[in-house]
Amino acid sequence: MDREEYYMRQALALAEEAAAAGEVPVGCVIVLRGKIIGRGRNRREEKQSTAAHAEMEAIAEANAAVGSWRLSEAELYVTLEPCPMCAGAILNARIGRVYYGARDAAMGAVGGVLNLFVEPFPNRPAVVGGVLAEECAAVLRRFFEGLRAYTSEEADGVRKQEAARPAEDRQPPGEC
């Protein structure tokens, strides 16, 4: 296994952990001179925080590990293309190199929707996309397929209960 693949697998393990906790599975690690100094996974539901993305958590942990907001020597590995918020944090942290797995056509800020890293910001990172892309996309696909199966079962259950109740119990719409 090469180096890029090795670290992306560490990020994937964190994405799987997110999925198991009912979060959209995205994982991230930050590597400095061959050592992982930051780990993060999506915790948006757990924290009910808009900012609780995998990259934000990994950057915060890396900042604490080196005692600096500057991460210019570090490399970031994330399973999903960074969104504008995280791409902005990557620029602010001056991270030198970014590896991402799956493309994000909905929120991606590294080519999916737009590409912040080609704009004339100082300290733009080098970018390698598509590392273990298929596996990174598959973990997301499985999560959303599971979610759909669950919600349609739930919906079926609700419809059956509704049908079983006597008509006079039912509230007219808007009066419950």
Q: Which of 21/155 has CB closer to Zn ion?
A: 21
CB 39 within 8 A of CB 61: yes
Which residues inside 117-176 make contact with Zn ion, applying CB under 5 A?
none
Task: Give the Å distances, CA to CA, from 164 to 11, 32, 133, 152, 169.
Answer: 47, 61, 47, 18, 11
Q: Is 55 a catalytic residue?
A: yes
Q: Which of 8/172 has CB closer to Zn ion?
A: 8
Binding piece for Zn ion, criterion CB under 5 A, among 15-23, 34-42, 78-86, 150-158: 78-86
Which residues inside 47-66 make contact with Zn ion, applying CB under 5 A?
53
Q: Which of 7/40 has CB closer to Zn ion?
A: 40
Kindly tell me the number of DSSP H helices and DSSP E strands found in the chain: 5, 5
Position 83 contacts Zn ion (CB under 5 A) = yes
Binding piece for Zn ion, criterion CB under 5 A, among 35-43, 75-83, 91-99, 146-154: 75-83
Binding piece for Zn ion, criterion CB under 5 A, among 63-71, 81-89, 119-127, 144-152: 81-89
Alpha-carbon distance 8 to 6, whole Å?
6
Closest C-alpha among 94, 100, 140 to residue 11: 100
- Say whether 154 sits in a helix, a strand or coil: helix
Q: What residues line the site for Zn ion (CB under 5 A)?
A: 53, 83, 85-86
Catalytic positions:
55
